[in-house]
Amino acid sequence: MDPLAMVPQVVLMGPGPSLVHPATLRAMAAPTLGHLDPRFLAIMDETVARLREVFETANRLTLPVSGTGTAGMETALANVVEPGDRVVVVVAGYFGQRMVEMARRLGAEVDVVEVAWGHAADVEAVAAALRRGRAPKALAVVHAETSTGVLQPLREIAAQAHEVGALVVVDAVTSLGGVPVEVDATGLDVCYSGSQKCLSCPPGLAPVTVSPRALETMERRRHDVYSWYLDLRLVARYWGQERFYHHTAPVNMVYALRQALELIREEGLVARFERHRQVARALWAGLEAMGLRLAVGEPGLRIPSLTTVWVPEGVEDAPIRQTLLHEHGIEIGGGLGPWKGRVWRIGTMGESARLRYVIQLLAALGASLRRAGVRVDVGAALAAAGSVGQAAT
């Protein structure tokens, strides 16, 4: 039997990927064109135009890198950081630390602003780090830290970088399409994301946008970008007017991203952000009414697309997640780093940000916890979520 025929429909409510709209899956199944076919080049142009809308930018250099969000991270850093550059990185979780490791491998002198897990960065501490020592080439920060569920104060952090002339490099993997990023209004110089989260496209592409200021920096480099494949000056020749062959683009993935972005355009960014916010509020209300404790105490710091909740005392993390997956067809994520085994990570991203999925999850989680001997009020959870989420669709 074909193994694909046995793949079940799973409600994806982990830290990614998210559910994919049927129209996006259908787009992916369209006939494959050559990567230099004029008809495909037109699709590329439409995809880039729609990416600019979601990033809220006029940046000429905006394109999807062939690779996942981690490829986006490496692309962003590798193209503006050279050996010996000073880079300040805000580390508020697992993925901030990954930025540090990449910058170090690029030969940068890295200064770290440590932030306790579950908390937002102290803007004054960031300002002090930027002004300590020689002028920094760049400041890097994860906007929505997927490991903790905290949304960092991006506009305030970026303003501090602007004051010292540093480029602002931002990870928007878990925020783009679900939370306002506002690249131009916030003054972000390099911003990247992933296709599989709030954009609700299968994994495989990393949207990246580069400001004119960052583009000038790239053009003044003293050394070639260490990675030929991720060198945006080369990749841009294929995605721009020149159409110079660089690599074979993942044609059908580009179809899918174009369709996913079209769905965002039809919904409207403001309405989409509000949907994510309302669905998250319903989830938070339901979890708390059930008797569980959210890992991020201050609602204003929580990411609408990713919620962290403490595993109840005496409960094993993995068995509950396995029960949800195998008996209820729902996937949630476990913790990373120091929170491994201590939190569950629940995604309400893109197509997964629907009230019906929150209700389904709360019922299944409540039943699973009861079986594990935990006293929870499932009825109160469902009532609270339903009441708060009435405005959500």
Q: Are 31-266 and 268-391 the same fold in CATH?
A: no
Distance separating the N- and C-terminal Cα atoms of the chain: 38
Cα distances from 21 to residues 14, 188, 261, in angstroms, run 17, 30, 11
Separation between Cα atoms, residue 332 and residue 349, nearest integer Å = 12
Architecture of domain 268-391: Alpha-Beta Complex (3.90)
Q: Domain locations in the chain? A: 31-266, 268-391
Question: Which listed CATH number (3.30.565.10, 3.30.1330.30, 3.40.640.10, 3.40.190.10) goes with 31-266?
Answer: 3.40.640.10
Residues in the chain: 393
Q: What's the pLDDT at 389?
A: 75
pTM: 0.96
User: Tens digits of per-residue pLDDT, 154-188?
Assistant: 999 999 999 999 999 999 999 999 999 999 999 99
Residue 47 near residue 254, CB atoms below 8 Å? yes
User: Tokens in use for 201?
Assistant: 């496209």
pLDDT digits (tens, 9 = 90+) for 75-126: 999 999 999 999 999 999 999 999 999 999 999 999 999 999 999 999 999 9
pLDDT-derived band at 393 (thresholds 50, 70, 90) equals very low
Q: Rounded to 5 degrees, what are φ and ψ at 240?
A: -95, -155
pLDDT digits (tens, 9 = 90+) for 273-324: 999 999 999 999 999 999 999 999 999 999 999 999 999 999 999 999 999 9
Residue 150 dihedral angles phi and psi, to the nearest 5°? -105, 135
Which residue, chain included where needed, has tokens 């799973």?
10
